[in-house]
Structure 1
Amino acid sequence: MAASMCDVFSFCVGVAGGARGAVEVRFVSSAKLIRKGETIFIERPLVASQFLWNALYRYRACDHCLRALEKAEENAQRLTGKPGQVLPYPELCTVRKDLHQHCPHCQVMYCSAECRLAAAEQYHRILCPGPSQDDPQHPLNKLQEAWRSVHYPPETASIMLMARMVATVKQAKDKDHWVRLFSQFCSKTANEEEEIVHKLLGDKFKGQLELLRRLFTEALYEETLSQWFTPDGFRSLFALVGTNGQGIGTSSLSQWVHACDALELKPQDREKLDTFIDQLYKDIEAATGEFLNCEGSGLFVLQSC
């Protein structure tokens, strides 16, 4: 019988050491040789969110799963700053724009009807700003602007990941189920939490954390999670996301390059294609630097700490 979500750790939790001072560790074992580059397993996050500066700078991603929404050629044009950039083998691009859908109320984009419905069923009904999507006075927009003002690229977390955690609980029929799931992630001591917050927000983190807590409370307060909105609880939630959030990166251009690598070509055609791709990445580095992907973070039952 399949384990419930709350029991999913039973697949990968072991105990190191004897009974005295036993330490729980999570691991995955394999019965076969794993080759370099081979996919070990695929896991959907409990909740995920694109980084706010990444989204602001037009890295277009599905608002639910973060799959890239740009065609590979569009991606290359934007990253190189060359509107006329053309890619060979355009048929290798996996982006299906005909499947894209938007929220009919706030217009955020999804890669598919499945993602739009999944978001609506889990958290988006709570977070959807409707026609106030671009209103700077909307509580969620004020929260996001405050976050961008204290957490600059390169980004490592997003306040909206925390918002989606709260919205998931607010919207759920079985709120205790989600509270139990989120409570299973690693926690830290008060001193460790402060260190994590310091790394995310900088030297003035205490005042910034309180501002974020106030805006977070105004936008999202939920009685079931009242502890998360206290100063200590909010710091703990912040540290939980900072500790357990796993980076997510997607790129239609990268997928196109991998598909090109798999092509069976004549030696001269392979050399020509490889030279083209090498130059393309040099052009991207000159124009954009290291920021190539749609980026965000998520909480995973198996992969997170």
Structure 2
Amino acid sequence: MEIVFESLGPETVKALLGKKFSNRQIRLFSLSGIDGYAFNSAPYYFPKLVKQALEEATRGDDGIMYPAADTRLQLLAFHMLFHGEQFANLDDISSSKYFGELAILAQQAGQPCPVNIAQLEKRLHESGHFPSRDLIGFYSRNNPFVTQQYLRKEFKPGLATLFIRDFPEQTTLHEPIKNYLRKHFQVVAEGPITNELGTMVADQIRGGNWFVNQMAGEAPPIYWFVCYDPDPQRVTKKIARNYPTCDNMRIVTSKRHLRSLARDDAGETVRIVHASDNSDDAYENVRILGLEGNENIKRVVAGLRIFDV
């Protein structure tokens, strides 16, 4: 059993669960995956989907708060695709141990029951709750199905996207960050994140998760860079264990250096910069930013593409 908590905190949840005996294994996850309550260093569910479930939940006759049936259907679809099982047949999921529950939720939601992987994916895409590629990268660890289904590599190393996050007390670092990136990469395009673009980027990139901690809240992105590295560095074995989808060591060293410049009042490092792990993640971010038509980016992408499209 998986339980995702938001504001109660893990100790309160543990205390509530401890009032009764159970022989079921229970795993606790925070909405944002912070404070060690994460799945492979990431939120267990797409945070935007969990927020929706919490906001719309109503109390049932048993006193338990329940999200709408359609949202519960999406949560189960998400679980089946990214945490559930290794599907033997992508075109027929009726043998899944979750199929009976899926059929019940679909009926309650007044929708046809998904009968294959494509229909599960479509349900999440239509609702805007299909996770970004960078978040899927975390789910893919030790999960061959997720890796094969969603992480097909289309680009050679060399493309990167980086984002400055909104930490008001760190604004003096913005220019040094820009200068560092211009020195160590070819900055193909850059710009501020405002208005509708800000909402779209915040919802989709980094799994829609810009949470810092319970005290600080969120620090969404406010400035973007699309960079090209003509000489990407091989990733070390140690880094590959922690960042299995990373394809360029320079991204890691740059991100770590820039974060080391930012410190909070306690002297702790502030994650002021978010960076893509690989060229494929970076290109997805390019699409989210609406930059596929940028001529400079198109030239770089054409040289890195593995497959003709």
Q: TM-score range by the shorter chain?
A: under 0.3
TM-score by length of 2: 0.26
Tell which has more relative contact order, 1 or 2 (C-alpha 8 A, sep 6+). 1
Considering fraction of residues, name the structure with more strand. Answer: 2
- The structure richer in helix per residue is 1
